[in-house]
Structure 1
Amino acid sequence: MTYELRTYTASPGRMDALMRRFRDSTIDLFIEHNMKSLGYWMPVGSPDVLVYLLEHDGDPAANWKAFGTDQRWIDAKSASETDGPLTASIESVMLEATDLHPIAAAR
């Protein structure tokens, strides 16, 4: 299983719109494209940063390609960015589990 840690820095004043897009469309589309959300966090003292962890079933590159070409995602992204981009930057780190500690089962 491959995991992915993603860090989004919202464009100024756009965090609420970014969170709304995740709630209204992104998370459900992740599921359909073999990506399971394991958690979402905001670092203490950084209200413009969203960090989340995905579990990929299958090839992450193929999952992202299918997600990125899904017309529902294209439409949701376009509709949410009528006043400009929601993110100033996106960072991604692919992770593989070790045997040091079992991964907690998702609820």
Structure 2
Amino acid sequence: MIYELRVYRVLPGRMPNMLARFRDHTVKIWESHGIRALGFWTTLVGESNNDLTYIIPWESLAERETKWTAFVNDPAWHKARDDSERDGPIVATLRNEFLTPTDFSALK
């Protein structure tokens, strides 16, 4: 199992739009492609309170490639993204990392 950690730095004032996009559209589209997030977090205390962080578990990088490619090419995703950015961009930056658990990790 690998875990993809994604951190979106959201533009100031645009977090409600970002959260609505995930809550109302993205998660449902993911489900149609067999993608399930482990969890979502906003930053209470840290470098920026404009961060949205989530983790997706994958069986392998090959699974991620197949499912993520299907998601990013889905017309429903393009519509949701475009509609949510009608008043301007939401994301300032995106960072993602692929993590592997240690032998003593609670998540394997």
| 1:12 alignment partner in structure 2 | 12
Is 1:43 matched with 2:37? no
Query: Which of the numbers 60, 76, 79 marks the counterpart of 1:75?
Result: 79
Quote the offset at 1:57 in angstroms: 4.5
| 1:66 alignment partner in structure 2 | 70
Query: Aligned partners of 1:79 and 1:18: how far apart in 2?
Result: 11
The question of whether the paired residues in 2 share the 8 Å contact of 1:6 and 1:91 is answered with yes
Query: Aligned partners of 1:86 and 1:56: how far apart in 2?
Result: 26
Query: Aligned partners of 1:93 and 1:53: how far apart in 2?
Result: 10
| Equivalent residue letter for 2:85 | E
The TM-score normalised by the length of structure 2 is 0.86
Kindly tell me the number of residue pairs found equivalent between the two proteins.
104
| Equivalent residue letter for 2:32 | E
Quote the offset at 1:29 in angstroms: 1.6
Quote the offset at 1:95 in angstroms: 1.4
Quote the offset at 1:60 in angstroms: 1.3
- What percentage of residue pairs aligned between the two structures are identical? 36
Q: Which SS does the other structure have where 1:36 is aligned? A: coil
Quote the offset at 1:50 in angstroms: 0.7
The question of whether the paired residues in 2 share the 8 Å contact of 1:36 and 1:56 is answered with no
* Runs of 5+ consecutive residues of structure 2 not aligned to the other structure: none
* Residue range with higher mean Cα deviation, 9-18 or 28-37: 28-37
Instruction: Return closer, same or farther for 1:80/1:18 CA change in 2, 3 Å cut-off.
Output: same
Quote the offset at 1:20 in angstroms: 0.3
| Equivalent residue letter for 2:50 | D
Quote the offset at 1:35 in angstroms: 2.0
Q: CA RMSD in A?
A: 1.7
Query: Aligned partners of 1:76 and 1:37: how far apart in 2?
Result: 18
The Cα offsets for residues 44-81 of structure 1, whole Å up to 9 and x where unpaired, read as: 23321111111124521222211100011011001111
